[in-house]
Structure 1
Amino acid sequence: MRERDATVRCVLDIRAESGETPVWSVAEQKLFWVDQEACRLNAFDPASGINESWQMPAHVSSFALRGAGDPVVVALRTGLFDFDRTSGTLEPIAAPPPYRVETHRYNDGRCDRQGRYLIGSVDLSFFESKVPGGAAIYRLDGAGLTEVIRDITCSNGMAFSPDGRTLYLADSPAGVVYAFDYDIETGTPSNRRVFIERDRGDGIFDGAEVDAEGGYWVCLLMKGAVARYTPDGRLDREIAVPVLQPTKIAFGGPDMATLYLTSAAHRHLPGDQPLGEQAGGVFAIDTGFGGIAEPNYRY
């Protein structure tokens, strides 16, 4: 494994129930993130230590930034909306969710390099029925909401290669991260293949990010670690973090060289392993790698 010193520090000890989806805003120099279970969108300013928060009317899983001061696209369990941070209003921007709200919700999502928003779902009924494959990935752009990937159970680990031509996607219950060829002209994934596999007992794939060198970073839920894989699928390194449930990561900071990590204080799976004193906090990791700015939603 490649050796580079890594330091992990808690920058926001907030005890989020389920911190998720960090996205660094270059324009505002803030880290946006959500607390899914508490239904809150947040914006953290590392320079001041201030965390601003907005209450949503339903479970919020993911979002896409448009630009400084512009409405934020939020994925609520009840649908996709433009959220105005000043007025607090929500405006529907797509048809009702393409799933049964009683058994499904949106989950991981992010923008591709061209500014389309890809958002996955999770089939919550799987955890009782054990029947996989009931969720999907959707693309939101000028043509509306389009299903682009089927036959997954819980969408996680979504990330794009630096050139945008490879899409990575984890199906957490399966213990697999897939890679797809990605048509940057149409926003269409194809050629689904296994990128990496991991025994669930050695950590469950959760949120992910890609660095400027093409390395794929992924959170290992229930192991308390973040792993980096090379573009050819080799494990490059693992970094232990002081919480059992790291959830998602994003590069940020003035030079895009800080890896921010969200975590959960709500226990996701049965067990008695300690969650960590700062579970639910936001952490900053100095890895020696740099990231790529997340594109804004452009439609």
Structure 2
Amino acid sequence: MIVQQPKIRLFHDEPVQLGEGPGYDPLTKTVWWFDIVTGRLFEKPLAGGTAEVHALGQMASALAVIDEKRQLIATETGLFIRDRQTGHSTMHQPIEADNPATRSNDARVHPAGAFWVSTMGKTQKGAGSIYWYRQGELRKLFSGISIPNSICFSPDGRISYFADTGKNIIWRVDTDAETGLPVGEPVLFYQHSEPGGIDGSVVDAEGNLWNACWGGSCINVFSSTGMRIRSIEMPVRQPSCPAFTSEDSANLIVTTAYHEMNDATHQSDPGAGKTYLVEVAGKGRLDPPVIL
């Protein structure tokens, strides 16, 4: 394993309870992320400046770019199309809208333009599912998951990954590159047995999976065979999700959280909930626009 400590700097200093769903829009050169608990979307130019904070009125956790003017946002009731200029949102595709016990969690766009989006129980274990959405069609792929995470894809779209943080397992499944639908059964990719838990992941241009280790203060990098090849120490206990901000480097935006910390733990971890930029050599990948 290669241990590397790249340059890490604070990107946004306002702490959030449960930072999640970061991403980068190359059309607008803007970074986004969410505070799930308070239902807020943050947007900030990658070059720096003032962050815009949008109150969404419900829990939300992930975003897919539609085009320069519109976003598709995963919320606790389904997928909403949001107009960036006006902030107006309209329901596009309900997902478990009639179940107040669940909310959205991890999500990512497959290279084919399909949105894999997950739900989880707000308090109940095993109540989560992973869905596939593309061109107006919604399918449930997997169910019985406590905390779905690590949804990400190989560069050619032929392998998909997902995790259940409740079991600390990442699975891989063969996938149709043209549709983003599974064509086989999930198999074990990695089982975490060290301190901390599996959280959000992203795959780089070489097929390596970068995973945020919740409670483990690091980003772990795994080869396509499931071997850990790198570990990047983070200055916080609970990194939650990484996302690449470039295809010319492996620079990452990383969300963190102070969710469920007691006062003493939070005081000992002053960076908890803040958003970081990790500057590291490599080749990142950016999610494509979602196909409505």
What interval of TM-score do these two structures reach, taking the shorter chain for normalisation?
A: over 0.9
SS where residue 87 of structure 2 aligns? Answer: coil
Question: What's 1:54 paired with?
Answer: 54
Question: What's 2:187 paired with?
Answer: 193
Q: Conserved in 2, the CA contact under 8 Å of 1:256 and 1:293? A: no
Question: What's 1:25 paired with?
Answer: 25
The answer to whether 1:34 aligns with 2:34 is yes
**What value does the CA root-mean-square deviation take over the aligned residues?**
2.1
Which amino acid in 2 is paired with 1:10?
A: L
Counterpart pick for 2:215 among 222, 238, 242 = 222
Distance 1:3 1:256, change over 3 A: same
SS where residue 80 of structure 2 aligns? Answer: strand
Q: Conserved in 2, the CA contact under 8 Å of 1:20 and 1:33? A: yes
Distance 2:263 2:207 in 1: 35
Q: Conserved in 2, the CA contact under 8 Å of 1:18 and 1:265? A: yes
Question: What's 2:111 paired with?
Answer: 113
SS where residue 166 of structure 2 aligns? Answer: helix
Question: What's 1:87 paired with?
Answer: 86
Question: What's 1:13 paired with?
Answer: 13
Distance 1:245 1:3 in 2: 19
Structure 2 residue runs of 5 or longer lacking an equivalent are none
Distance 2:256 2:38 in 1: 13
Distance 1:30 1:13 in 2: 17
The answer to whether 1:152 aligns with 2:145 is yes
SS where residue 298 of structure 1 aligns? Answer: coil
Distance 1:29 1:90, change over 3 A: same
What displacement does 1:198 show?
Answer: 0.9
Matches within 5 A, 1:1-299: 1-68=1-68, 70-94=69-93, 96-98=94-96, 101-127=99-125, 132=126, 134-189=127-182, 190-199=184-193, 202-253=195-246, 255-267=248-260, 272=265, 276-299=269-292
Can you list the C-alpha shifts for 1:219-242, whole angstroms capped at 9, x where unaligned?
110111110011111111211111
Query: How many aligned residue pairs are there?
Result: 291
Distance 1:121 1:46 in 2: 29
| TM-score, normalised relative to structure 2 | 0.93
Can you list the C-alpha shifts for 1:145-181, whole angstroms capped at 9, x where unaligned?
2112223221101110111111010100001000010
Distance 1:120 1:77, change over 3 A: same
